[in-house]
Structure 1
Amino acid sequence: MTATARYGLDAAPPELRLTQELLNTAPTSKSADLLADLDTARGWLAEILPSPPDLTAKGLADLRELRDTLQRLVRGEPAAFTGAIKITIDGEEAKATPTANGTAWLRAATAAECLVARATGTWPRLKLCRNPRCPVAFYDRSRNASRVWHDVATCGNAANVRAFRSRHQTFG
């Protein structure tokens, strides 16, 4: 099961799908870190890539670092990463293709996705759940892009109840 499917989420559009999957490897209160160890990370890679790279301990550390960088970017914090990509422009169509191998390919592929998503305007719709204990990445398909919870019934409801009780707390 893909990281996104385990939360019952709609997949992001193609230009953000790999990025969303990588973000959703983070641990939550209900699920383990899919990049916790080599075996778990290899299983995750095998689910999302047709020909997953051979993952080493250094590659695993690179994936965790990339996930952290992507989380900062989605939150709107300054962050940067690089990846080897080839940009091809043919008439009206532009294409960004990763040129690296191994986990460097994954870094380049997510760099290309971020670039394309920013160019197409879909980037602001990739969000992290506002619940601080729930780093689930979701794609906001609402008309005005105003969603803040990956699931209102779980994360949103608990936060809304806490806010309500806080506002209506009586003293005495």
Structure 2
Amino acid sequence: MALSRYNGMQNDMPNTFSSMLDRFFNESVNSRNFSGFTPHVDACETEKSFEIEISLPGVEKEDISIDFQEGKLTITGERKLEKKEDGRRYHMLETQYGSFSRSFYLPDKVNPDQISAIFENGVLLVNVPKDEQKTMKRQISISSAPADCKPKAKAMQSKELAGSENGSANK
């Protein structure tokens, strides 16, 4: 048996450049080990709320969970693979199955008690309303100190000055 140098391109080298590209993309895509899938998300902000739309085809409503804690909205679930064993042999299976989890950090101006979700035709729409009390613009007026507060403020200032002089004299 003779030894020959291996450069990775001898035995299984495709005949054409096109077949080489096909093989490269098929092997790189199909060789990934998906333990789950990542659903596609569209998120937007309106004047009154944040809206998160998640595409979940083939997922049952009972397999979805939505949690909100410490400003983080987490949506988890599972798309189950139902194998139908009736003499079929799959040559390609590109649909992703398994569990998923998507988390979104929201600002503190949301109202977690009013979060709602609707699941219809494989699309989950989560509406996170803003807290109107936190988002409402307010003008704060500045007033003069009442006459009875002015002597107290002056007395506090004189005590602070006396305390700092005594403190520096002792050192």
TM-score (norm 2): 0.25
Higher strand share: 2
Structure of higher CA gyration radius:
2
Higher helix share: 1
TM-score (norm 1): 0.25
